Amino acid sequence: MLGVDGREAVEEQRARVLTGHGLFDHIIQLYPGMSVLVIDETFGEGRNLLRAVFRDPENLTELHSSYHVGRSANQVAISLESLQDVSIEVNQLRRSLKSRVIVHSYLPELLIRRGSDEVLRVLELWKKDVVSSGHVEFYLLPRGTFEDLERKLKAIMDGVIEITVVKKENVFTYFMTPIRICDPQYHLKTFQYKIVGERLLIEWEGQFIDRLPELPLSFEELKKIIVNDAASLIVMKKEVSMENLSFDDYLLLTGMNGRRISQIRQLYPDRWDEIVGKLANWVMSGLVKLERVKPEPSPAVRTGLKVKNRLLLSLPTSMALSLIKLAKGFIGSRVRTVPLDAHIAVLNAMKNVVDFTFGDKPDLKADVQRSTKFFGELSARETALQYVKLLEGTPFTVFNPKHLPKIVALTLKTGWDIDIAIREANSDSYIFEVVDCHLCEGVKSDTPFCDKFISSVVVGAVAICYHRKSECYEFMCRAMGADKCAFQLMVKPS
């Protein structure tokens, strides 16, 4: 297991109830005395899954009603005439059975006969008996049939396995989702599986297998590999469900997909330690695959500005901007930018689509706006990084704090053709006003309209030039009736 030494691993393995299915045991952790709820849509897939996992009949006993004619030696019928009789009979079986795993497949019949409240009280009492016996007991329940009981059992059981069946073009696809009954990295993660013959195969790293191909790396070992081999590893996003990631992490992963880790480090110098941890978690949870490729040449490591660039920043903003626009000769080549008219056309189109599609769905509308802000910041990071590489020949240069106001002014002028007046409010805090903001011209809004465009660009540029996190927000906007647009920028300590 991850994060334990050899002795502790042996002790933990002895304590666990192992199924013999290497991959299932890696994902789902069973211990003596556990009560586990298995929910599926057909009330058949749960039984099939457990039979495929516990292939040796001596390891599993299935309890069913006396109306069900058992065909296997490991099936035992019990009478459902009264709850007291059921409880007595089940407890007798707990004491007499040699197998360590019991499957209760009679719950639907018992619930129809006795009602959810009475059955729930019995199951709560049984939990103590299960712990005393040392068995692992699974309770099968069809999804959505007894909804109130289902919700309550999810809360009181030691763990849950949810099974989902998806039908597409007459092909059935099966998924299982562990809840609490697993290592935290697999909690609520959905795994596709299939049963071939009597073998359970689980999708892992793009293949259906029944055992881990190799021992998993620890979290710390994986972080070291990400840092040390950054130039030769590419992040490849797998099929990711939004249920497995926060919306912000989903955006971040989307922006990283297909990039070398060394490139990601250059784009996010202010968040590098955080991103290393996220990547390690995503790899371990199966959301990301790291593809090894030929390493790219390492850029020069230099943090001081070249003389010509110190000269550039010492010039008035208008003159510095003219030199940047000329680009050839001074920089060496041009950095491509999108024409302002094209920017405005895209923004107007996006606004119309968002208002039409999500106008009555504020949560979805907020997600779209966050997406706009995220990709605006990413675009700013990429553009600023290209400029820094062209100007300095390295992405590692850190600019002098005294040049920050000029960096912000040049960024907004080259990116949005926006003129600003900026002043230092106090240490690491700046106020800037937009002179004649065209982004919100003719727009009416209840919230700051320009924030998601201007703030994201400023945060991205500051991250690349200063390797520091920052926050920027609009506190006055003409779209809200103010006479000007104004922003505050706060740069966080290194």
Q: Give 433-450 pLDDT, tens digit per residue.
A: 998 898 888 889 898 989
Average of per-residue pLDDT across 122-138: 92
pLDDT, mean over the chain: 83
- Res. 326: pLDDT tops 80: no
From 140-154, 358-372, 401-415, the region with the lowest mean pLDDT: 358-372
For residue 177, the model assigns a pLDDT of 95
Q: Which residue has the higher pLDDT, 344 or 452?
A: 452
- Res. 7: pLDDT tops 90: no
For residue 175, the model assigns a pLDDT of 95
Integer Rg of the chain from CA: 30
How far is the C-alpha of 34 from the C-alpha of 17, rounded, in Å? 10
Q: Which residue has the higher pLDDT, 362 or 252?
A: 252
pLDDT band at 6 (very low <50, low <70, confident <90, very high): very low
Average of per-residue pLDDT across 227-246: 82
- Res. 244: pLDDT tops 90: no
For residue 312, the model assigns a pLDDT of 66
For residue 151, the model assigns a pLDDT of 93
For residue 184, the model assigns a pLDDT of 85
pLDDT tens-digit series, residues 455-482: 999 999 999 999 999 999 999 999 999 9
For residue 27, the model assigns a pLDDT of 92
pLDDT band at 361 (very low <50, low <70, confident <90, very high): low
For residue 329, the model assigns a pLDDT of 43
- Res. 347: pLDDT tops 60: no
Percent of the chain with pLDDT over 90: 41
Average of per-residue pLDDT across 419-426: 91
Average of per-residue pLDDT across 386-395: 82
From 264-273, 283-292, 306-315, 325-334, the region with the lowest mean pLDDT: 325-334
pLDDT tens-digit series, residues 89-103: 999 989 888 768 999
pLDDT band at 8 (very low <50, low <70, confident <90, very high): very low
Q: Give all domains of the chain, ordered by start, each with its CATH number.
A: 6-209 (3.40.50.300), 219-292 (no CATH), 307-491 (3.30.1380.20)
Average of per-residue pLDDT across 193-218: 83
- Res. 206: pLDDT tops 80: no
pLDDT band at 274 (very low <50, low <70, confident <90, very high): very high
Going by DSSP bridges, is the β-strand pair 101-104/136-142 parallel, antiparallel, or unpaired? parallel
For residue 479, the model assigns a pLDDT of 93
- Res. 162: pLDDT tops 90: yes
For residue 469, the model assigns a pLDDT of 94
pLDDT band at 330 (very low <50, low <70, confident <90, very high): very low
For residue 4, the model assigns a pLDDT of 34
For residue 241, the model assigns a pLDDT of 62
From 13-22, 253-262, 335-344, 454-463, the region with the lowest mean pLDDT: 335-344
- Tell me the residue type at 1: M
For residue 466, the model assigns a pLDDT of 92
